[in-house]
Chain A
Amino acid sequence: MERSGGIAAAPARQGFAALVRAAIDPATVLAAVRDASAGGNVLFLGTARSMTAGVATRALEYDAHESLAAATLDALRQTAIARFGLTASAVVHRLGHVPVGEAAVAVATSGPHRAEAFAAAEWLMAEIKRQVPIWKGEDRGGGRIEWQHPESAPRPGGGP
């Protein structure tokens, strides 16, 4: 897995999962799921937005338990292939500093038809937000990062 630069790892045939610390190249993520047998191809980008709940955000910072996050992303990606009958799926999450307007996460899915590709991309994003050990911090200026640990979130790992 490439952690320090862009997406340098050669995609596996059914896609790949990666954590990166540089800008995500959407074309590379989409290319990793293209296949002659797939008629539906979905690419989702989650980008850093400029306002959250009426407060201006200058940038986002992401922290992670890297080994557990990478393993969880890959497990989710493979589960999505089996659960939705996908041809391939690829997931990339950026860590560190993410300027407003740039992608923090990219999910690509492909399948024989569009319905399973759309459904799988939505499922993957929901599960990534629910269970991958990655944390978002909002830089609202003033030199302090507001780390997000939602009160409503279940304890990670499904523990008691």
Chain B
Amino acid sequence: MQPAPPPPDATTLHVAVFAGMAELVGGRRLALDWSGGSVDDLRQLVARRHPEVAALLARSAVAVDGRYAADGDPVGSGADVAIIPPVSGG
């Protein structure tokens, strides 16, 4: 199935990814056509465009403008967005 064309008011949203998710997508950020929506909308879009990360994404948090966001929180078109998978520092 071909992806639907982006709506005319869509802009490019860059989403930072790290560690195993960066390895899965072959880069450190995703570029998505985005015309606004919630964190949950963004999760669904990422899972459609990058099905290879869907399982890890389901276990990940989303940070918007430097703070962890709930699934219902809005993501503006100019937001600073990062996907934070389960951590393993120390």
- A contact residues vs B (CB 8 Å cutoff): 46, 62-65, 67-69, 71, 93, 104-105, 125, 128-137, 145, 147-151, 153-160
Contacts and interface: CB of A to CB of B under 8 A. Distances in A.
A135 B1 CA distance: 35
A78 B20 CA distance: 30
A136 B20 CA distance: 10
Contact of A136 (B16, B59, B88): B88
Interface stretch (B6-14, B30-38, B44-52, B63-71): B63-71
Closest 9 CB pairs of A and B: A134-B89, A157-B68, A147-B20, A135-B19, A148-B88, A153-B86, A129-B90, A157-B61, A156-B61
Interface of B: 16, 18-20, 22-23, 56, 59-61, 63, 66, 68-71, 82, 84-90
Given A65-B82, A68-B66, A157-B68, A129 B61 contact: no
Contacts of B84: 65, 68, 133, 156-157
B72 to A, nearest CB: 10
Contact of B87 (A104, A156, A158, A160): A156
Contact of B60 (A62, A93, A145, A156): A156
Contacts of B71: 159-160
Contacts of B19: 63, 135, 137, 147-149
Nearest to B86: A153
A147 B70 CA distance: 25
A158 B90 CA distance: 19
Contacts of B82: 65, 68
A144 B88 CA distance: 18
Contacts of B20: 135, 137, 147-149
